[in-house]
Amino acid sequence: MRKINTFILGSLLLITSVLTGCKSIANLTAKDGGNKNKRTAVKPNSKPVFLEDIEVTPGSVVQSKHKPGTTKQKKTNIPIPKQMLEPDTTVKGNIELCNILQFRYAIIMDETVERLSNIKLLNKINEWWGTPYCMGGKTKDCIDCSSFTQAMVRDIYKAELPRTAQEQYDACQHIDYEDLREGDLVFFHAGRRRKEVTHVGLYLSNNKFVHSSSSNGVIISDLNESYWRHSWRGGGRVVITAP
């Protein structure tokens, strides 16, 4: 009888220990599962961070925190367009492609480059530039005022003028100062001989005219200079009669 009671008591203890172990295992499993969920959960307001410290958020511009200039770039030599080294003399009105003579005489005449479009006229002035003055002369060695205008009108405008300044004045259509334009003649008198034309030049633009000066040879002068203002006789336009 005592053996049976001992067996029953042992069996109850075994069953109790088994049940207690299962409950402990179940609690451990539930606890581990909860921790696992907490580790893998993603907060909705967190900012994903990628490599090189670049942060990305929806609707924003991607910006790098790297400082500029940390990488060296190779320098490259960009070739200069040919037309900038050798201006195209046939192009007119484009300041980047103007002939060198246009720049030179634009400075002398205080004029805009684009307005000096008569390249043939500028070339002819340049040919004669600085030629000394001499009475009766008509060559590149020396030339007087009326021979110079005679040569310029013949070579540029294909018209013939009489020999002397007075004869040229008489042969022209007289015009006012305000009506002067490129190619017109400008006439002057000297001293007390106000009725007699003693000097002539070729009008260009911006009150400037080219002539053979007794003191400086072939040069460009300004009609606003005191001497020429007081010596002014009138303007003349060459009239070309049809054959």
What pLDDT is recorded for position 195? 79
**Catalytic entry in 98, 172, 189, 199:** 199
145 catalytic, yes or no? yes
Cα distance between residue 204 and residue 181, in whole Å: 7
Among residues 98, 145, 172, 189, the one annotated as catalytic is 145
Helices (H) and strands (E) in the chain, counts: 7, 6
Strand partners, 63: 55
Taking residues 45-62, report their average pLDDT. Answer: 46
| Between 190 and 100, the higher pLDDT residue | 100
| Residue intervals in the chain for CATH 3.90.1720.10 | 129-237
Residue percentage of the chain with pLDDT more than 90: 53
Q: What are phi and psi of 90, to 5 degrees?
A: -85, -10
The reply to whether 230 belongs to the active site is no
Residue 34 has pLDDT above 50, yes or no: no
3-state secondary structure of 47: coil
Note the pLDDT tens digit of each residue in 107-139.
Answer: 999 999 989 999 999 999 999 999 999 999 999
Active site residue 211: yes
Higher per-residue pLDDT: 29 or 191: 191
- Quick one: which of 129, 127, 126, 166 has its CA closest to 146? 166
The answer to whether residues 148 and 128 touch, using CB atoms and an 8 Å cutoff, is: yes
| Highest averaged pLDDT of the listed ranges 4-8, 28-32, 216-220 | 216-220
Sheet of strand 199-203: strand arrangement: 173-175, 232-237, 185-188, 199-203, 208-213, 217-222
Q: Report the pLDDT averaged over residues 33-40.
A: 47
Burial class (CB in 10 A: 0-12, 13-18, 19+), 28: exposed
Q: How many CB atoms lie within 10 A of CB 132?
A: 15
What is the CATH superfamily name and number for domain 129-237? Answer: endopeptidase domain like (from Nostoc punctiforme) (3.90.1720.10)
Average pLDDT, the chain: 75
In this predicted structure, the answer to whether residue 54 has a pLDDT above a threshold of 50 is no
Question: Active site residue: 66, 172, 211, 230, which one?
Answer: 211
